[in-house]
Structure 1
Amino acid sequence: GGATMALRRRTLEAVGGLPRLANQLADDYWLGAYSRQLGQATLLADYVVDTEVREANFRAFYQHALRWSRTTRSVQPLGHTFSFLTYPLPLVLLLAPWMGLWGGVPLGVVLLLRLVYHRQIMHKLGADGSFGVALLGEFLGLWIWFHALFARHVAWRGSQFAIAADGRMDGHDGAKR
């Protein structure tokens, strides 16, 4: 499941109800945006939401992550475009060979900062997590970001949907979903 949102029925009806959101890849984003257009406030809970991704296999995980990234691209295209900067390790590894001996400095700094960041997050969440897996995740995250730049389709609950430039979804059979 996705995030939990709460609003009054009259607000949902005023924004056009669920039919207005039905074809949107980023339905939760648009629900908040439409509500704010009516002058309603968006409030965030004071709790950290624990998200567990339990996909059956790597392909399902990848399709899920690609859909998330493609969703971000549909509502924040500029932000998504520059989000590659949040994956510094692969970028530094690509640039380090052209920096000669100095290439090790940014690589060391990025690894140290990533280690500190990883430990702080794990401590705050009271969780255990492999630093190596976190580093591999950075490479996978960058690849998914890149794929989302060009992806025109996403998989969702066993169906494939074409994604229009404005983030609207169409099924492969041409029927609106």
Structure 2
Amino acid sequence: MADRQLALKIQKVASFALYLIAGVLFVFSLGFMTNFYQLFIDGNSEMYKFYKDLQMLNTMIFDLSVILVILTLLHFAFDFHKRMIGLGGVIVTLTTTILNISNGIAIFQTNAYFKNEYLKIDFSGMANYNPSAVPFNLTYIIFSLVIAISALVTIVSCFNFVRNYRK
């Protein structure tokens, strides 16, 4: 019985970590372009083009954050953080993880491309602009956490499901 309680506690902590990172990703997606807005206002045509092209990455991040928020609300609605889950819960957590991994790979590749393009731009003509690759680096960190936490939730949920199913 103590093992079951521990397993449920780990599932609860992992689920809340997933809810938290989904919220962090959503807020991050809303503010991602803030650092680059001055390229739109004060930049030259190359900077303006970069800013417009970067909208694609921002849209990808935002869309994935909305999907993750919806999936975590589904987790929350079905009390994945409170009780052992059934086969439907395992399918939802597995789907969430597969989606996060596949989309995370696309985000990593797109992010790397835009980070390299950003670092190639000559900002010397912009007096008040301090170039920073922090948003790109944060994208790597946040999506790595999304993937890791999703995988943890899936592993713990599958373990608990199999363990519960055997009894």
Flag whether TM exceeds 0.5 (same fold): no
| Higher RCO (C-alpha 8 Å, min separation 6) | 2
More helix by proportion, 1 or 2?
2
TM-score of the two chains, using structure 2 as the length reference: 0.27
TM-score of the two chains, using structure 1 as the length reference: 0.26
